[in-house]
Amino acid sequence: MHTATPQRATMTASRAERDAEFSAWMTARQPALHRTAYLLAGDHHTAEDLVSATLAKVYLAWHRIERRDSVDGYARRVLVNEHNSLWRRPWKKREVTRDELPEQFGVHDHYDEGQRGELWSLVQQLPRKQRAVIVLRYYEELTETEIADALGVSPGTVKSQASRAMATLRTHAAQSGIVPTTSGEEEK
């Protein structure tokens, strides 16, 4: 029978405290991470995968994160990086997307209050980086600096991506009749 050394007992207690701290953080933040993941990915299954991968990476880095008030920003950055890496995976390139699913089930989407609006469909059509900026700015209400930190880009890049995204959204919204044209011209 092995006897526990004082050093081993201290390490075990320290790990138990760290695990309890991570578990409390995870329980509190998982819904918000899932919401952000869903808004980035556009579907619940991919969002769940993104959150799982994010939580695993945050857990592995938990002992290195000295400032606990910065964990949310770190987790958001990991989440965005995980989402970006989906496009680099070779098996994702072999998937074939279809306009219509073979089976569609009625799902109440609590992230958009049950309204599957046309505007949200336009947001989902934005390029990946522009959609990330729009989601983090207008859905998560982050500042430009916080978005830049989460995406690993400069605040100027955030501004330019947001500007391009908003211009695209305005154009497509006007073309689809969601909002009136801003030029004052009546469409015939």
CATH of the domain at 47: 1.10.1740
Q: 35, 57, 92 — which closes off a domain?
A: 92
Does residue 87 sit in the same domain as residue 46?
yes
pTM for the model stands at 0.63
pLDDT band at residue 67 under the 50/70/90 scheme? confident
**2-60 pLDDT tens trace:** 555 666 666 566 888 889 999 999 999 999 999 999 988 888 888 999 999 999 999 99
CATH number, domain with residue 137: 1.10.10.10
User: Per-residue pLDDT tens for 83-92?
Assistant: 888 766 555 5
* Gap between the Cα atoms of 188 and 184, Å rounded: 13
Is residue 160 assigned to a domain?
A: yes
Q: Are residues 65 and 122 in the same domain?
A: no
Question: Would you say residue 39 lies in a domain?
Answer: yes
Final residue of a domain: which of 37, 57, 92?
Answer: 92
Position 86 in a domain: yes
Residues spanned by the domain of 146: 117-180
For residues 79 and 122, membership in a common domain is answered with: no
Name residue 166's amino acid. M
Same domain, yes or no: 85 and 127: no
Alpha-carbon Rg for the chain, nearest whole angstrom, is 21
Q: Is residue 56 part of a domain?
A: yes
Q: Residue 83 falls within a domain, yes or no?
A: yes
Domain count, the chain: 2
User: Using an 8 Å Cβ cutoff, are 72 and 80 in contact?
Assistant: no
- Is there a contact between 148 and 154 (Cβ–Cβ < 8 Å)? yes
72 lies in some domain: yes
Is residue 137 in a domain? yes
